[in-house]
Structure 1
């Protein structure tokens, strides 16, 4: 972690994290505060999918989740976990906007999600390195947190 912290890239990563946080907060708070739900009939082939999401309450859950995840990025709280959850949302947005309904605005949004989430996942990738092990054995979550030196190793 020391190399990444000394690098001038840390400022770019900071700004990308803050931009992504504000992007998610704006999207989520637009629904949470103002109750804004876009007109899905203008969303092309994606419209029926989004309407179905709203009908079962999934769209609303995602909007509240966007507020939580955006706040986590903004306040630098559990960023690796937030990015993993955001990746699920981003993959859906990327697929719908780049392949199903590739209008100019959707193309921008899909590419933006891909670049922001992809870059941040790479920037925080050191936290995911243990996920890439070929051979593993059961290892309880709390044991990983209490492993001597591990926490200091990740924090510095």
Structure 2
């Protein structure tokens, strides 16, 4: 079987990564450039939650994190780590949009987040394989970052 980076699927993964990057950059830069925090008072149950996040500065911090993560995906730097961090943000968006405030626009946004983040996590899943070991021994971060630890299995 061909490695993922040798198959034609790599182009679909690349386009998914770029689309997700632009999605995060648009969301984050809208706040960073224009300092725009939407009025959440009309957002139903979600409004109070997101309004409270904005009141303590957490919403604003997330917008800066979105810019960093979107840039990381766009430039193809640290993608596996960026996707793990994005999974936390996506989980919150999915929960709020699918279960707390499920109107049509939010349903699309929640499903889009779920699909994009899930598909990209699977596409880069080989980097997470060691996380799934039943028995693990201590393994220093810097030992894992040695040259042989950076290459996908099967390459030399």
TM-score, length basis structure 2: 0.94
Q: Any residues of structure 2 matched to 1:4-83 within 5 Å, and which?
A: 4-83=4-83
The Cα shift of 1:154 comes to: 5.8
Q: 2:128 maps to which residue?
A: 128
- Gaps of at least 5 residues in structure 2 are none
Structure-2 separation of matches of 1:155 and 1:42: 53
Q: Any idea what SS the aligned residue of 1:37 has?
A: coil
Q: Stretches of 4+ moved more than 2 A in 1?
A: 148-156
Task: Give the RMSD, CA atoms, in angstroms.
Answer: 1.7
Structure-2 separation of matches of 1:152 and 1:119: 21
1:94-120: CA deviations, max 9, x gaps? Answer: 000000000101000000000000000
The Cα shift of 1:155 comes to: 10
The Cα shift of 1:77 comes to: 0.2
Q: Any residues of structure 2 matched to 1:71-110 within 5 Å, and which?
A: 71-110=71-110
TM-score, length basis structure 1: 0.94
The Cα shift of 1:151 comes to: 2.4
Q: 1:138 maps to which residue?
A: 138
Q: 1:150 maps to which residue?
A: 149
Structure-2 separation of matches of 1:7 and 1:23: 26
